Amino acid sequence: MPADNQSVKEALGKKGAYGADLDLDRYDEGTKAPEQIDDLQSSGYKDYLEKVGVVADEMNRSGTLMFIDNGMSHCHASQQEGLEMMSTQEALRKYDWVKDYMWKAMDPAKDKYTAKSYLEDADGYFIRVKSGYHVKDPVQTCMMIKTDKTIQNVHNIVIVEDNASLEMITGCSTSHHANDALHIGVSEIYVGDNSNLSFSMIHSWGKQTGVRPRTATVVGKNSNYTNNYVILNPVGSLQSFPSATLAEGATAMYNTMCIAHEGSDIDTGGLVYLNGVGSSAQILSRSISMGGHMCARGRLVGNAPGAKAHLECRSIIMKDGGSTNAVPELEAHVADVEMTHEAAVGKIAQDQIEYLMSRGLTEDEAVSMIVRGFLSGSINGLPPALQSELDAAIEAANLGD
């Protein structure tokens, strides 16, 4: 998208459509020249990485790419044929055509956060799977904020060409010193025809961190895109509304699992444009409010005949003091579509808790078991590392009281 600089500059003053308006001037720019790390395991970031599903020993991974603040600090790819990994700026230098993928799925003048990324030529990760290749093990990426009072401002490009497949795990985290920071991450994701991409994002931020990811995905004919999003730890203000545009016969699945702790403000979900004939989508959100604010959004737009889509937002409220919103939206522009939604907000039914207690579980154990099941139900085949993270988060949340 040939953006004219002036309109993007003006967008710097444009609030996001949802979520609290964050003041960009409160933060410094994060460094573009962070420390370079060879071995993640001995790096001191190991625990942070594993908390967000990124394995430090890189076993059973096709590659790992890590950003600290605003620069790449680690990039290692296995000998997987057809896979390319580098920084976005490097890709722009290497291939003439990469610029055509920049700001094509995402409008830089969308709001102040995208404008900021655009105007600062943010770097990020570039992952490409060439046509005809199926990458066996997942590629993992990590976005780490190390410096307090800074903005992490990244621009990622993922391209899975025709007849190809890729699984990505991307973890984002802040170090203990960088509680009051802001993450802006623009991700533009392109899936070709007859391809598969599974994109799992796991966030673990600080109690004051502001988070404004901006993600847009274009899915080609007969391709499948799965987007998993997990946030279990406290965060300051998080707002994200990733979108996908589907071609003929394409499918998209958005699965979200969140815990809104006291002091956290989370506004997230998924938006799918069903533009192709016979395209389909499913948006599923499971959240727990532990006294925080939780808004689960889902929006389906049916633009082509034969579109089929379902939206489900379920939320359990464990503690008073916060608020929970479920905002399901269906919009159809042709007659031949089948779009449905379900939303439910409330506490866990007492008879379910007592049924488990009648088998000898304490009330805390019963509640944890139901909550764990409720949350994991949103994502099929949760990676084992995440399962134990989920258990730890539920334990830490001390749900029984």
Partner 1 sequence: MTEMLKVVDLHACAGEKEILKGVNLTVNEGETCVLFGPNGSGKSTLMSTIMGYSSIQVTQGQILFKGQDITEMTVDQRAKLGIGMMMQRPPNIFGVKLGDLIRASSPNSEAVLSSAPEFKMQDFLDREVNVGFSGGEIKRSELLQLTAQKPEFILLDEPESGVDLENIDLIGRKVHDLLYDGNCPGRQRHVSSLVITHTGQIMDYIGADRGYVMRNGRIFCSGRPSDLLKEIRENGYGECDSCQQIISL
**Which positions lie near partner 1, rule CB under 8 A?**
349-352, 354-363, 365-366, 369-370, 372-377
The residue (of 151 and 399) whose beta carbon lies closer to partner 1 is 399
CB–CB of 201/168 below 8 Å? no
For residues 263 and 383, which CB has a smaller minimum distance to partner 1 in the complex? Answer: 383
Amino acid identity, position 354: E
Of 7 and 362, nearer to partner 1 (C-beta) is 362
For residue 284, the minimal CB distance to partner 1 (Å) is: 13
Count the Cβ atoms, other than its own, within 10 Å of residue 44: 11
At closest approach, how far in Å is the CB of 65 from partner 1? 34
Contact call for residues 217 and 105 (beta carbons, < 8 A): yes
* Residue 351 beta carbon to partner 1: minimum distance, rounded to whole angstroms: 5
Q: Tell me the Ramachandran region of residue 9: left when phi exceeds 0, alpha when psi lies from -120 to 50, beta otherwise.
A: alpha
Q: Which residues of 129-165 are buried (b: 16+ CB within 10 A; e: fewer)?
A: bbeebebeebbbbbbbbbbbebbbbbbbbbbbbebbb
Taking the least distance from each CB to partner 1, the nearer of 79 and 350 is 350
Task: For 141-202, give the secondary structure using H, E and C.
Answer: EEEEECCCCEEEEEEEEEEECCCCEEEEEEEEEECCCCCCCEEEEEEEEEECCCCEEEEEEE
- For 62-104, strand residue ranges (E) read 63-68, 71-77, 83-87
Structural element, H or E, at residue 116: helix 112-119
Which one, 251 or 368, has the nearer CB to partner 1?
368
What residues have CB less than 8 Å from 60, skipping those under 6 apart?
A: 137, 138
Taking the least distance from each CB to partner 1, the nearer of 339 and 379 is: 379
Query: Which among 288, 292, 340 has a CA at the least distance from the CA of 314?
Result: 288
What gap in Å lies between CA 188 and CA 199, rounded to an integer? Answer: 12
Distance CA(205)–CA(52), nearest Å, equals 10
**CA separation, residue 99 to residues 24, 122, 186, 318, 322 (Å):** 26, 13, 15, 47, 44
Indicate the residue among 18 and 374 with the shorter CB distance to partner 1. Answer: 374
Comparison of 349 and 396: residue with beta carbon closer to partner 1: 349
**Closest distance of CB 352 from partner 1, Å:** 5
Which value, to the nearest 10 degrees, does the dihedral of the CA atoms of residues 174, 178, 179, 180 take?
A: -120
Largest distance between two CA atoms of the chain? 66
Select 360 or 384, whichever has its Cβ closest to partner 1.
Answer: 360
